[in-house]
Amino acid sequence: MPKLNAVLETALYVDDLPRAKAFYESDLGLPLLFGNQRMCAFDVGGKSVLLLFLRGGSNEPMPTPGGTIPPHDGQGPLHIGFAVSAEELADWEALLTTRGIAIESRTTWSRGGTSLYFRDPDGHLLELATPGLWAIY
């Protein structure tokens, strides 16, 4: 069996792309890699890409110079967990609070990690997790 090396891209579907772009760029500090009227791509720690698509904006095949991207879309609140260092978790919590972003839950895991849960403007559940959450993290 060939090996999968990592999750390269994760996608969320949003109702207001400029609002979502501002949240992820300004509130979470993610560097923008690409953006147009249909989608935005953000660098997450130099290891993966977060894609934000305008809900309903990718229901048709998307021709590119190198081939066609098949249609896709999504509904409802989704979940993404971001890895953060234990040393910076309190700084993240303070930043979110300062920006008026409510912490919905805080969980301490049996392996020693801690997770903070909050929502983006489209209701997606976001998690900041420190090492000790999974056996591999």
Residue position matching structure tokens 């920006």: 99
For residues 18 and 69, what is the distance between their CA atoms, to the nearest angstrom? 23
| Structural domains of the chain, ranges and CATH numbers in brackets | 1-58 (3.30.720.120), 77-137 (3.10.180.10)
Could you list the pLDDT tens digit for every one of the 137 residues in the chain? 999 999 999 999 999 999 999 999 999 999 999 999 999 999 999 999 999 999 999 999 999 999 999 999 999 999 999 999 999 999 999 999 999 999 999 999 999 999 999 999 999 999 999 999 999 99
Residue position matching structure tokens 């990718």: 58
Residue 40, judged by CB atoms within 10 A of its CB (0-12, 13-18, 19+), counts as: buried
